[in-house]
Amino acid sequence: MLQLKTAGFKALDNLRMEGIFPPCWKNMAALETAANDSISQFLAERFRISQELGGAFLWPELIDRTLRTSETEYMDTESIPEWEKLELVKALDRQNTMMQLYPRYVELLIPLINEIAEHKKHDVRVLELACGAGGLTLALAEALRTKNLPASVTGSDIVPSYIEAGNALAAKKKLPASFRQLNAFELNSAGKGVFDLVVISQSLHHFTPGQLAIMIALASEHAASAFVGIDGYRSLLLACGVPLVAAMQGIMSFTLDGVTSARKFYTELELDMIAEIATGKRTHTVSCSWPLSILTVRF
């Protein structure tokens, strides 16, 4: 219901016909502004078209506009102590485990890993951005071992205590994974050509369109072969369901983050536009594997 594809495609067509989409950019600062502006223009145009279409098209648009927020999740608030942040990403990790999301992410990534390995003729170096408690990196490491995948995996996040916790868990479980502190907007500091596949899960909505475009452009600049972003599917069902599932752990701030996050999930069209702005090409796909949206960008 909140994908609003009919009005969305019309809006995007109009922006293309007006010659304002896709925008040109010369550096990362310009890219960030261009992506933020384009998504704002798109949403304004989609609203205008929904008003023209009326009735069954306008109601979902109004619900979408009511739900949308740019609030920051509590777990990303700079002023809270790291131990509290760690508790919250651990709660998210428990939720992901309970919902059996990690095996699904791994299954989604395996064909791409095999494809890149075959093309590059070496093991695929996977980098997970914004890994939180590190559940996906560890699940991938487990799969590397059990399925003998041609890959290595590094988890990364901006919060140091997540990195410590991830490395401690990898050592305890004797898994072939390492964790390093990395700001997702400073992939440069990882070195050029160091990673082949850049992955980010359940975090796309924590970043603005401009920030996501920068991540994709940096992955491309660093000679990665592909970027994969996995996140919740923007829908009324998840807007209600995510907070309900989060509430099961009885942690108020985690439940409220569930409410905020589900209101921020991107539509498929927005992800599609962000990828096109970042690459200037259409070498990407956006698909739904319920309840997930999957953006795969090939460079």
Ligand X SMILES: C[S@@+](CC[C@H](N)C(=O)[O-])C[C@H]1O[C@@H](n2cnc3c(N)ncnc32)[C@H](O)[C@@H]1O
Nearest-approach distance from CB 209 to ligand X, in angstroms: 15
Taking the complex as a whole, the smallest distance from the CB of residue 69 to ligand X amounts, in Å, to 15
Minimum distance of ligand X from residue 234's CB (angstroms) = 16
Question: What is the Cα 249 distance to its own chain's centre?
Answer: 24
The answer to whether 214 touches 32, Cβ cutoff 8 Å, is: yes
Instruction: Report the alpha-carbon distance of residue 252 to residue 229 in Å, rounded.
Output: 27
H or E element at residue 92: helix 82-98
Alpha carbons 206 and 126: distance in angstroms, whole number: 21
Q: Which is nearer to ligand X, 75 or 116 (CB)?
A: 75
Helices and strands in the chain, H and E counts: 11, 7
Given the complex with ligand X, which of 42 and 195 has the nearer CB atom?
A: 195
Q: Which residue is nearest to ligand X (CB)?
A: 132
Do 265 and 199 contact (CB within 8 A), yes or no? Answer: no
Shortest Å distance, C-beta 203 to ligand X: 4
Spell out the long-range contacts of 47-50 with Cβ–Cβ below 8 A and sequence spacing 24 or more.
48/11, 49/7, 49/10, 49/11, 49/14, 50/4, 50/7
- Biggest CA–CA distance in the chain, Å, is 59
Q: In whole angstroms, how close is the CB of 64 to ligand X at the nearest point? A: 21
Q: Which residues bind ligand X (CB under 6 A)?
A: 76, 89, 92-93, 96, 129-133, 135, 157-159, 162, 183-185, 201-203, 206
Nearer to ligand X, 46 or 264 (CB): 264
Closer CB to ligand X, 45 or 157, in the complex = 157
Minimal distance in Å, beta carbon 220 to ligand X?
18
In total, the chain counts a number of residues equal to: 299
Least separation, in Å, of the C-beta of 132 and ligand X? 2
CA distance 169 to 166: 5
**Which C-beta is closer to ligand X: that of 8 or that of 135?**
135
Nearer to ligand X, 46 or 85 (CB): 85
Pick between residue 57 and residue 185 the one whose CB is nearest to ligand X.
Answer: 185
The beta strand positions in the chain, using DSSP E, are: 124-129, 151-157, 177-181, 197-201, 226-232, 284-289, 292-298
Residue pair 248/258 in contact by the 8 Å Cβ criterion: no
